[in-house]
Structure 1
Amino acid sequence: MLITNKQKLVKQSVQGRIHSPIVGPNPYRINREGIAEILPATGGITYNFKIGDSCMDLVGDHIEPGVSIKSDNPNENNALMLLACIGNEARVVSGEAKGAKGYVTGMHGGIDHVLVYFNEEDLDKMAIGDTILVKAYGQGLKIEGFKDVKCMNIDPDLFDKLDIKQNSEGLLEVPVVTEIPAYLMGSGIGSSTAFSGDYDIMTGDKEANKEFAIDKLRFGDIVLLRDCDNTNGRQYLKGSVSIGVVVHSDCIKSGHGPGITVIMSSKTTKIKGIQTENANIAYYLGV
């Protein structure tokens, strides 16, 4: 097993409320063909899609599985987005579902939601405005002997469950469902940090969707992003490698698609993807 500094990391509370879906004065979303559509989108409680389910071909746009939370205080929400990590324990602290526990499954930039998995029985008891506390734990995670690999946005206990190994060539072997080339990464490119939010795989090219198995992606899938540097912001860099998790669904808008929250990145080719059918956080979390 890899040696990390997880014993030195701080576990700290952040929290938000279940955030209602919102619609502005113009209810339409413009698709890639320039056609206006009215569809469900971000926010609220999504009852019938969860991690492990397909994130493609939904009748919706940027759909967030499970529960979407946000703080009304912008600075507190910045902390929620920055400190919450995939795999962190989340607990309902108000409302009929008080005491229910789940897991953070991703951070969605732009709308600035943290996404949380709960089982169906608990979802049925929840309501818009219920407060959810997250035990934020993971930012600052480092792997001993791999200074050029930056970890982010992942709970150390979940990281251990991925069973990442160092091979004979000194590379980190990470389970992934597929590899995505840099030219398919769209909305979110150029962000100043990858420690918050996500960026999208563009899905406007149907042939590319099939070639790289994007059409088979599920919420929670772990993917490798080739020539994508997320160590200090998001950019193209030949030879760099990033590993991320699918956090929201495909989209109808140009330049958008399934959202990826990055959990590891290196400016050098220190990370190797090992194609694994079960490379999904639902499998590793046992839900």
Structure 2
Amino acid sequence: MLRTNIDKLVMQSVQGCIKHPVTANPYYITGEGKPITLPAMGGITYNVKTGDPVFGWAGDHIEPGVTIKNEEDVANDALSLLSCIGNEATVISGDAKGTKGYVTGTHGGVEHVIINFDENLEKMVIGDSVMIKAWGQGLELLDYPNVKVMNISPDLFLKLGIREEDGKLKIPVAGIVPAYLMGSGIGTASSTRGDFDIMTTDMDEIKRNGLDQLRFGDIVLIKDFDSSYGRAYLKGAATVGVVIHGDCVRMGHGPGVTAIMTCKESLIESFIDKNANISTYIRGK
């Protein structure tokens, strides 16, 4: 079993409110130059959830389930930074008070935290408060000091089925993404919050790489990509991440990925398992 510093990690409360959907303007411009009006980020998305396909929706950057944000910028920075995938979230106001869910990702740019609730969505309203038990930043693999872990709760991380073989870590993933398909979010100063996008302008290439069946919550490996202190191409490096938002019509965008593990060296390998989805591990199915 992987040795970690889990007993030294700090758990803190962070909080936000269900965020109203946001749109920059009436139209999004597609890669073909066509203006189109679509639902986008934020709000309570009733019919899109973790485990559903990321492609095919009439929407742009759709965030499955419930989106929260803290309207105080400094507090929202902490909410986005400390919230980790798999952390427990609890509604603490309104008719759905007491309902529990879990964090499924953090969305950069808009700085949203995305949460899955399996029940009581109909009782929730915009503005309801949600508290998260933030736990996971600072997680270390004691026998692999060059592998960085981030943005994931320790209990979920230990359920991912990672195997140690010949001094390397082998992780089950739903898909393998070549570095050249990564777009929006590259060059960001840190990978400890937010996401970056798999570009989908060339859907033939997406299909050729077997990525057209990706789902919200799928675990993927990005080849030749380092997310240690930002996001950039690096031959031999690898980044493991979770798919957190849906496809996009705009150039340079597509399904978003929040990084959970990375290494500059060739210490992370993967094998395909179509059940490699956070909902599988969290729900025990």
TM superposition score category, shorter chain reference: over 0.9
The corresponding residue for 1:4 is 4
For the residue of structure 2 that corresponds to 1:133, the secondary structure is strand
Q: Separation in 2 of the partners of 1:265 and 1:249?
A: 23
The corresponding residue for 2:244 is 247
- Consecutive unaligned residues in structure 1, runs of 5 or more: none
Q: Which digits, 9 at most, give the CA deviation of each residue in 1:64-122, with x for residues without a partner?
A: 00000000000000000000000000000000000000000000001110000001x31
The corresponding residue for 1:262 is 259
User: Does the 8 Å CA contact 2:23/2:41 hold for their aligned counterparts?
Assistant: no
For the residue of structure 1 that corresponds to 2:221, the secondary structure is strand
1:1-287, aligned counterparts within 5 Å? 1-24=1-24, 26-119=25-118, 121-167=119-165, 169-286=166-283
* TM-score, normalised by the number of residues in structure 2: 0.98
User: How many pairs align?
Assistant: 284
Structure 1 residues 157-166 or 184-193, which shifts more? 157-166
Q: CA deviation at 1:163?
A: 2.0
For the residue of structure 2 that corresponds to 1:22, the secondary structure is coil
Q: Which digits, 9 at most, give the CA deviation of each residue in 1:153-208, with x for residues without a partner?
A: 000000011121101x2110111011101100000000000001000000111221
Q: Separation in 1 of the partners of 2:174 and 2:9?
A: 29
* TM-score, normalised by the number of residues in structure 1: 0.98
User: Does the 8 Å CA contact 2:26/2:37 hold for their aligned counterparts?
Assistant: yes
The amino acid that maps onto 1:197 is G
Percent identical pairs in the alignment equals 55
Q: Separation in 2 of the partners of 1:210 and 1:249?
A: 16
Q: Separation in 1 of the partners of 2:208 and 2:176?
A: 10
Q: Which digits, 9 at most, give the CA deviation of each residue in 1:44-83, with x for residues without a partner?
A: 0001111110011110000000000000000000000000
For the residue of structure 2 that corresponds to 1:161, the secondary structure is coil
Q: Separation in 2 of the partners of 1:157 and 1:86?
A: 10
Q: Separation in 2 of the partners of 1:53 and 1:76?
A: 31
- Consecutive unaligned residues in structure 2, runs of 5 or more: none
The amino acid that maps onto 1:18 is I
Q: CA deviation at 1:22?
A: 2.1
For the residue of structure 1 that corresponds to 2:235, the secondary structure is strand
For the residue of structure 2 that corresponds to 1:124, the secondary structure is helix
User: Does the 8 Å CA contact 2:198/2:254 hold for their aligned counterparts?
Assistant: yes
Q: Separation in 1 of the partners of 2:221 and 2:142?
A: 21
For the residue of structure 1 that corresponds to 2:123, the secondary structure is coil
The amino acid that maps onto 1:19 is K
